[in-house]
Structure 1
Amino acid sequence: MSVSQFSLQSLIGTEGAEPAFVFDGRPVSRAEFSGKVEQTAAWLTAQGIGQGDVVAAWLVNRVEWIALLFAAARRGAIVAAVNTRYRSAEVGHLLKVSGAKLMVVEAAFRSIDFAAILAEISRDEVPALQRLAVVGGDAIAAHWPCVRFDAFETSYPPAPSAQDDVDLPVLLYTTSGTTKGPKLVAHSQRTLATHAASVAKALKLSPQRHSLLAMLPFCGTFGMTSLLGFIAAGATIHVLDAFEAASALKVLGEHKITHAFGSDEMFRRILALADTPRPFPHLEVCGFAAFQPGWRELAAEAEARGTPLFGLYGSSEVQALFSIARPDDAFADRIEGGGRPMSPDAKVRVRDTETGELAAQGVSGEIEISAPSRFLGYFNNPDATRDAITADGFFRTGDIGRLRGDGAFVYETRAGDAMRLGGFLVAPGEIEDELKACTGVADAQVVAVDLKGQARCVAFVIPAEEPPQQEMLVARLRERLAGYKVPARIYIVDAFPVTDSANGVKIQRARLRAMAMERIAAE
């Protein structure tokens, strides 16, 4: 296979006028999209963006987002994906760690005040950032000079041909893991394109028969990987700018969509709005990630209504849709997280966390993965990269699971303290550090609990001399963090439960979770 076949551009092609995408009812053909990529590459050149430069993309799902990624690949530049649910602390951290020179940002979208969030970030925090490029407006109120993202409106001189190096970073995802601030997961054109081709082949996608409802955000690997897989297959992709159950329901029905990927909560909301016994007769595969309690019951309901849910596995480091269950799996096996790798070249093994030896079939341990979809490393963080990869090249996932014996594996739970909130992996340290920066807080601990069927976090705070007011803490966190990271409850305590061990005093997080549930039940 030639190097050019590992590029993002190789996924597109330009033949024919058939739709590659449909945005809010407007079709964009593959040839038209290729033209937009050329225009965006020319625009990036005019902005002084070239080899190795980082551009932050703070956008909802729109054609500009995808064109920006493909154009950056042509220029040898790197796109840092910014979650639209992020707030000032998270955006500032990403800009600082990535060293982004340019941020492409929405002028406005629904209730998100991008300007107000950026106003909370000082220029001193992110010295590399030179300007903002605004989509949908000429400027926003900010500390940085603004230009209009007018790549599709203004004719810029064609970008000079760049020498493709498909193994350089081209896309950065954020992931929290168990560290206090998000790390940046670097992928190359090769890792993205080869995995996209593997997804298209493993799912046996046909341009004529299959279509995707893209309802996941492009800023995360779940949304981006499913998007790239269907681009590689030549299938049509119907895009939601942001998820709404009513919009998803409409597109699924009107356009006879065959594939959709999302969280269990997304499918729960869609089915709740569907008023017929079998609302989606054309759906073949609904790949889902189980983030909320009650997902088994949801899968059974969906099955009864002709909506087949398939368990998946993935991460930013090995990409989403790394593996999927098979249609001929028994229902109980099909809905479990895990499945069989999309790529025939992927290898999965399990290491016994007690002995450090490789575990036998059926024995739970830490999942380790070697695959063409594996990330290059954590951007500008060689220590974290070294810790995450074994001497023989396997990624230590931090997830617990077991081998099933038929080529499949089962994901069981997340190791360590990381929490899954709002469909995203969140480190408690992120929230704890923000709390400890608040007036009146001496120390803080955060744990995840099941609250009315939703995974939420609860904080325990040891006060300083002047105890903090809960309302003020919540208001401060809402300014600084995404809404799903704001604790549902904040409790004041004199001390945290601890236990002595050979390695020192450890906080009993399991006891904190039990305390949280006891207090909530007593309310």
Structure 2
Amino acid sequence: MPKQNASPSQTLIKLLDETTKINPGATALLHNRERISYKTLQNRVYNLASQLQKMGIGKEDRIGIWLPNIPEWIEVFFACAHLGAIAVSINTRFGTTEVSDILNRSGCKALFVCSNPSDDKYLSILSQVNKNVLTALETVITVGKPSGEAKDLQKIQLITYAKLIQQSSTVWLSTTISPSSKCIMFTTSGTTSLPKLVVHTQNGIASHAKDVAKSIKLDIPSSVILQAIPFCGVFGFSQAIAAISSGASILCLPSFDASNTLDLIKEHNVTHLNGSDEMFDRLINESSDLSDFNSVAFCGYASFTPSLSNIVQTCQEFGLTLVGLYGTSELLAFLAVQKPELPTSRRRRMGGFPVSESTKVRIRDPETGAAMPKGEVGELEIKCVSRMECYYQNPDATELALTKDGFFKTGDLGKICNDGSFEFLSRIGDALRLGGFLVNPEEVENFIQKHPKVIGCQVVGINGPQRPTCAAFVTVEKGTHVSTQEIMEFCQTRLAKYKVPSYVFLISKFPTTTGPNGTKIQKTLLRDLAQKKIVSTTSNT
């Protein structure tokens, strides 16, 4: 395994302990009307870790966290880190298909889920998972009182979070963790039909958190970071751990509502506001007073929506100085940040200046591997302390992604600028950006092809009327009838909502081209065809 950049080593529990020692009474987490101090958070983490250890959770056991943005997410993560267990971060928007796959491949021993008798979607989805893929799962811990859906979880112990932590424990924690201990997995999309599981180490996360905190000035007095982006993705996760490393407060939002969020920004004097271009657009459209964002000192944004290309300039009129960012599941978010003092034309670009001085960025020709000079476009290769350790149980994919000298091959097109920053331009492949997440089209294609009437499927990314989305082209056996609505409903039953194609088109055959390496489907033509069909449909309505 290629070595990472050298940097001071640290465990995550030491990171939390250091912050708590400096200011134990400072607010760590804000949720509804509850304020949790750093000392209280530390006590909860230690107690939870002790209770998990009593349950038999230990080093490198995988523990699923399938929770929205609530304090328990952070508590569980740090408790796992304290034990040397590996947290498996599960997207709250995943459906049965994705959850089944992740639980099966990760081999989760325990799973934390939210539970609400009036709308118990997590246990409902879990009850639909084939029991043959849950052989490793021993315990489900519910944050909240479980509903009747729990009865379907045969041979799996069910316990509430409140009961688990109701008794304080003084049991000595037997751990052998180190800075190099694996601590969390994120899902990503790659060149295979299934998302890969990206494994990170404690030191990589802890060191990166301090670099991010320094870069985006989380150390300013009374810093409050709005946690609207999910903990379960590297964007939300990276900003949360950075906040904890600097003693800032995290304002947890389990769901996003522009009006409610605007009120919270003013009530809690939010200083750091990070999110997607769409989130900022919704906030400024809700705002009626230029003073609404007076407390905000930093705004990092991710560009996902082509129709919002002017969002940086528009937000400036409301006093919000947006800056572009760069990150990946394998490198964590906030790897690079544009400088706020730059002109709008520069700040709107994705990429920026690496937050760590030890980070190295280079450009290679995607086909020849030759090094390319500044200003030339090629594949971004990056070496940094926050680089992943590996893809879980996938050594072949890990070897393909890393160079012999420790650089990660991002699969992104970009260029290095003369001032030392770099710019991200686009993905080299055909990956989709849906709902703020990177999605492999093969994942959706393979699922649709499970429909008994479908023999072929191709999914392409397109610009929808409001946001990026995708369209599916489907072929069926001659003489077989299937409606596009039937395909849509098939997807809606088991795929995450944001992965469901917005449009389905029946096609007799896919356009192809024959080259030296064989016959390939021309997705570019399909993308153009889908875009034309959408424009035609929109103009006729």
TM-score of Structure 1 vs Structure 2, range by shorter chain: over 0.9
Matched, 1:252 2:265: yes
CA offset at residue 464 of structure 1?
A: 2.5
Of 443, 462, 468 in structure 1, the residue corresponding to residue 482 of structure 2 is: 468
Shift of residue 253, structure 1, vs aligned partner? 1.4
> Is the contact made by 1:166 and 1:189 (CA closer than 8 Å) also made in structure 2?
yes
Are residue 32 (structure 1) and residue 40 (structure 2) matched? yes
Aligned to 2:336: 323
Contact 2:59 2:176 in 1 (8 A): no
Q: 1:9–1:70: 8 Å Cα contact kept in structure 2?
A: no
For the residues of structure 1 that align with 2:290 and 2:181, how far apart are their CA atoms?
49
Judge conservation of contact 2:111–2:140 (CA < 8 Å) in 1.
yes
Q: Distance in 1 between matches of 2:242 and 2:82?
A: 19
Counterpart amino acid of residue 510 in structure 2: F
1:9 partner amino acid = K
Cα deviations across residues 468-514 of structure 1 (Å, max 9, x unaligned)? 23222212211211111101111111100000011110110010011
Residue in 2 aligned with 1:5? Answer: 10
Alignment TM-score, normalising by the size of structure 1: 0.96
Decide which of 381, 386, 402 is 1:389's aligned counterpart.
402
Against the structure 1 CA distance between its residues 498 and 518, is the aligned structure 2 distance closer, same or farther, given a 3 Å change threshold? same
SS of structure 1 residue aligned to 2:306: coil
* Mapped pair 1:97 → 2:105: yes
Structure 2 residue aligned with 1:332: 345
Deviates further, 83-92 or 239-248: 239-248
Partner AA of 1:259 in structure 2: H
Say whether the 8 Å CA contact 2:120–2:146 is kept in structure 1: no
Aligned position for 2:285: 272
Q: Secondary structure at the match of 2:262?
A: helix
Mean Cα deviation higher: 395-404 or 151-160: 151-160
Task: Supply the AA of the counterpart residue of 2:177.
Answer: D
Partner SS for 2:20: coil
Deviation track 1:238-287 (CA, whole Å, cap 9, x = no partner) reads 11122222222112112221111111111111111001134312212110
CA spacing shift, 1:301–1:124, aligned 2, 3 Å: same
Q: Name the CA distance, whole Å, in 2 between partners of 1:372 and 1:299.
A: 30
User: Residue 15 of structure 2 aligns to which amino acid in structure 1?
Assistant: S
Letter aligned with residue 431 of structure 1: V
How far 1:133 moved relative to its partner?
Answer: 1.3
For residue 379 of structure 1, the aligned residue among 392, 400, 404 is: 392
Opposite residue 258 of structure 1, the aligned amino acid is T
Which residue among 490, 514, 522 is the counterpart of 1:500?
A: 514
User: 1:177·1:425 contact (CA, 8 Å) conserved in 2?
Assistant: no
| Structure 1: stretches of 5+ with no match in the other structure | none
Instruction: Please state how far the C-alpha of 1:8 moved relative to its aligned partner.
Output: 3.8
Does structure 2 retain, via aligned residues, the 8 Å contact 1:101–1:129?
yes
Aligned to 2:422: 409
How far 1:143 sits from its partner (Å)? 2.7
Q: Is the 8 A contact 1:3 1:166 kept in 2?
A: no
Structure 1 residue 11, shift from structure 2 partner = 3.5
Is 1:182 aligned to 2:192, yes or no?
A: no
In structure 2, runs of 5+ residues without a counterpart are 1-5
Offset from partner CA, 1:32-65 (integer Å, 9 cap, x none): 0000101110121122111111011110111111
2:531 aligns with 517
Q: Residue deviations 1:346-384, cap 9 Å, x none?
A: 011111224421111111111000000101011111111
Q: Is the 8 Å Cα contact of residues 324 and 338 (structure 2) preserved in structure 1?
A: yes
Q: Is the 8 A contact 1:6 1:166 kept in 2?
A: yes
Note the 1:240-319 alignment, pairs <5 A: 240-319=253-332
* Rounded Cα–Cα distance in structure 2 between residues aligned with 1:38 and 1:344: 33
Structure-2 separation of matches of 1:167 and 1:469: 53
Normalising by structure 2, what TM-score?
0.93
237-246 vs 54-63, greater mean Cα deviation: 237-246
2:138 counterpart residue number: 130
Asked if 1:142 corresponds to 2:156, the answer is no
SS at match of 1:267: helix
Tell me which moved more, 386-395 or 18-27.
18-27
> Using the alignment, how far apart are the partners of 1:281 and 1:109 within structure 2?
40
Larger displacement relative to structure 2 (393-402 or 163-172):
163-172
Instruction: Show CA shifts across 1:415-457 (max 9, x none).
Output: 1010101100000011101100011000100001111131111
Q: CA RMSD in A?
A: 1.8
Deviation at 1:180, TM superposition (A): 1.3
For residues 498 and 55 of structure 2, the distance between their equivalents in structure 1, rounded to whole angstroms, comes to: 35
Q: Which of residues 7, 20, 25 in structure 2 aligns to 1:14?
A: 20
Count of residues paired in the alignment: 523
Distance 2:303 2:350 in 1: 7
| Structure 1 residue 340, shift from structure 2 partner | 0.4
- State the AA in 2 paired with 1:324: V
* Offset of residue 204 of structure 1: 3.1
Q: Is the 8 A contact 1:261 1:286 kept in 2?
A: yes
Counterpart for residue 487 of structure 1: 501
Give the drift of 1:88: 0.4
- Equivalent residue of 2:167, what SS? coil
Provide the residue aligned with 2:174 in structure 1: 161
